[in-house]
Amino acid sequence: MRVGVNLWVWGASMTDERIERLVPRAAETGFDVVEFPIEERDGFDYERAGSVLSDHDLDGSVVVAMTDERDLLSDDEDVRENGRDYVRHCVDTAATMEADRVVGPLYSAVGRTWRMNDAERTAAVDDVVAQLEELSAYAADREVTLCVEPLNRFETSVFNTVEGTTEVVDRVDSPSCQLLLDTFHMNIEEKSLPAAIRTAGDRIGHVHACGNDRGAPGSGHIEWSPVGDALADVGYDDQVVIESFTPEVESIARAAAIWRPLADSQDALAREGLSFLRTLFD
C-alpha cells in the first residue's frame, strides 16, 4: 500500500513556495504519495511540482475543489461547462505532474444540498453519467483515472453511499472512472465500512483515510482492522491518502467545518496518521 498525505493537512491555497516547502516535508515524514488540491487554476507551476515529486521519489494525485461556479448539476449551462472545463484542467494538471488520478466529488458543489423526488434523482444520475462518460474519455486519452467520491448528507444530496455511487461507475463503464472511498464520509453514511468496501470491490480507485472527526486515522472510534481486511479482500493495494485540514485556513475550515485543532500540531497529525496506517497495512 502507498500511504499519502493531502497538502490541505498543512494549508491552502497551493503556491510554488508551499509546494517547494511541503513536498520535501512529506517525503521526510515518510510518505509515499502527495495529493495536490487544485483550488485555483495555475496557482502553482505544475511542471515544477512534478519535478519535485520525482526528486523525492513520490507518487502524486490531484483532488478537485468543486464550487458553485463548477457545478455539473447546475441549472446554468455556463456553470456546467465551466465545471467540465475545470475537471479537464485537473486532468491536464495530473498528466503534467505525471500523477495518474483526479479524485473527489466530480458532480456538484460541495455544500450544495437540495431535495429531489425519485424522477429528479433519476434525471440527476443520468446527467452525471453522461458528463462523466465524456470526461472519462478525455482522462483516458491522458492516462488519468477519475475517482468519484460520495460525500456525507451534510455536504451533498446527490451521492452519499457507496452503493449509490457504484451505479454511476458501472454505467460509465470505463477503466478511467472508478470510486474514491473516504472513511470520514463512510463513517456517517454506511451501516458497515467493511461491507461498503466489499460492495465497491474492484471499482475502488482511491482511498482517503482519516478519523471520524477528520483527525489522524487511528485517533477516533473507527474500527480499522476490519477496514484493512476488507481492502485486502477486494484486492486494493494502491494509494491511501490522509485527507485532513487545518483550522488556520479560514476558507477550508469553513467548508469542512473544522472549528478546532484535531491534533497537537499538523505535523503530529500527519506523522501519527502515517505511523498508524503503516502498522495497519503491514
pLDDT at 52: 98
Q: Which of 35, 149, 155, 190 is catalytic?
A: 149
Grouping H, G, I as helix, E, B as strand and the rest as coil, residue 124 is helix
Is 39 designated active site?
no
Contact 240/4 with Cβ under 8 angstroms?
A: yes
Residues 6+ apart with CB under 8 A from 210: 182, 183, 184, 216, 217, 242, 243, 244, 273
**Selection from 88, 111, 108, 100 nearest residue 41 by Cα:** 88
Q: How does pLDDT run across 6-24, given as a tens digit for each residue?
A: 999 999 889 999 999 999 9
Q: How does pLDDT run across 49-63, given as a tens digit for each residue?
A: 999 999 999 999 999
**For residue 251, pLDDT beyond 80:** no
> For the chain, which residues make up each domain, given as ranges?
2-281
Is 250 designated active site?
no
Q: According to CATH, what is the number of the domain 2-281?
A: 3.20.20.150
The pLDDT mean for the chain works out to: 96
pLDDT at 257: 82
pLDDT at 256: 78
**For residue 248, pLDDT beyond 80:** no
**For residue 178, pLDDT beyond 80:** yes
pLDDT at 226: 98
Q: Is 173 left (phi over 0), alpha (psi -120 to 50) or beta?
A: left
Which of the residue ranges 79-88, 241-250, 254-263 has the most confident prediction, judged by mean pLDDT? Answer: 79-88
Mean pLDDT of 246-260: 78
Q: How does pLDDT run across 66-116, given as a tens digit for each residue?
A: 999 999 999 999 999 999 999 999 999 999 999 999 999 999 999 999 999
Q: How does pLDDT run across 149-164, given as a tens digit for each residue?
A: 999 999 999 999 999 9
Q: Which of 35, 189, 190, 243 is catalytic?
A: 243
Full-model pTM: 0.97
Q: How does pLDDT run across 181-217, given as a tens digit for each residue?
A: 999 999 999 999 999 999 999 999 999 999 999 999 9
Least confident of 98-102, 142-146, 241-245, 258-262: 258-262
- Is the dihedral angle over the CA atoms 246, 207, 36, 18 positive or is it negative? positive
**Selection from 213, 218, 278 nearest residue 31 by Cα:** 278
